[in-house]
Every structure is written in structure tokens, then in C-alpha cells.
Amino acid sequence: MKTTIDIGSNIFEAAKRLAREENTTFRDLVEEGLELVLEQRSARRKIQIKPVTFRGRGLTAEYRDASWSKIRGEV
């Protein structure tokens, strides 16, 4: 697929230079870079935090119907 992108001239020149040094194309470098960014961002979304649970019967009677501000104030 063909598309047009605007990038800074310094990035373009550095990429063209690297492509020549590595005997590859600018297009291949762009595709590789986009693949890396997509993988990294996709990996960030997959992080799941396990809930922290405690054995027991929950809050004591003193705090069972208390507001969060009262509970936080006891810390």
C-alpha cells in the first residue's frame, strides 16, 4: 500500500543513511519501526494487575458501614 507521510528532515536523512549502511530500504526501516511501536503499545495494554485479597470476613463491625473518608482517616 502506498501512503505519504511528513517526517523531519533530520530523521529522514538519518534513516536513509542507515538504510544504505545496512543495505536495506527506507521502506523496510519504516515498516520495522512501526512494527516495534505497535508491539510495544500492544504489550502495555495486556498488563493485568491481579487483585489483592485477604482471607477473613472483611471489615470489622466498626468499619463495615463506614465511609471511605472515615476508613482513610484511621490510617
pLDDT at 72: 85
Domain coordinates in residue numbering, the chain: 1-50
Task: Report pLDDT digits (tens) over 27-73.
Answer: 999 999 999 999 988 877 766 777 776 677 778 888 888 888 888 88
Contact 7, 1 (CB under 8 A): no
> Going by C-beta distance under 8 Å and a sequence separation of 6 or more, which residues neighbour residue 59?
66, 71
pTM value surpassing 0.85? no
**Buried-exposed string 15-28: b where 16+ CB fall within 10 A, e elsewhere:** eeeebeeeeeeeee
Contact 62, 74 (CB under 8 A): no
pLDDT at 45: 72
What is the topology classification, in CATH, of domain 1-50?
A: Arc Repressor Mutant (1.10.1220)
pLDDT at 75: 67
pLDDT at 65: 87
